[in-house]
Amino acid sequence: MPVPKSEFDQLPPCEFYTPEELLEDEQMYTVYEIARLLQGLETDADIDRQTEDILLDWAIPWVMVNADDLVVAEPRSDDEPGYYGLKPAATTADGEGNDEDE
């Protein structure tokens, strides 16, 4: 049920990290690791399954909204998730390098 805004002491803006703020250039992350980072946790933080499920509810849309700024790597094995990382600045939408000397 909706609650009046007046019931809250503070209403800060709803802001999320940009991919550049959240991820390291040369690293690839699972969606589980991104979920932890979005909450200010270490990528290997030990959290219970219920909490992880809630964090994933935030992380999956974040990945989708920021897809234009990310690259994806297929899992290296069947028991591993995919990985996401920052798209290099000189990479175009088709994944090709944007090297003008070619």
For 66-83, what is each residue's pLDDT tens digit?
A: 999 999 999 999 999 999
Residue 102 lies in a domain: no
Residue 32 lies in a domain: yes
Residue 46 lies in a domain: yes
Residue 44 lies in a domain: yes
Q: What is the mean pLDDT of residues 7-32?
A: 95
pTM: 0.77
Reply yes or no on whether the pLDDT at 101 is more than 50: no
Domain limits at 38? 25-86
Instruction: For residue 31, give Cα distances in angstroms to 23, 48, 96.
Output: 12, 16, 24
The Cβ-side half-sphere exposure at 102, using a 13 Å CA radius, reads 5
Number of domains in the chain: 1
Q: What is the mean pLDDT of residues 10-26?
A: 94
Reply yes or no on whether the pLDDT at 100 is more than 50: no
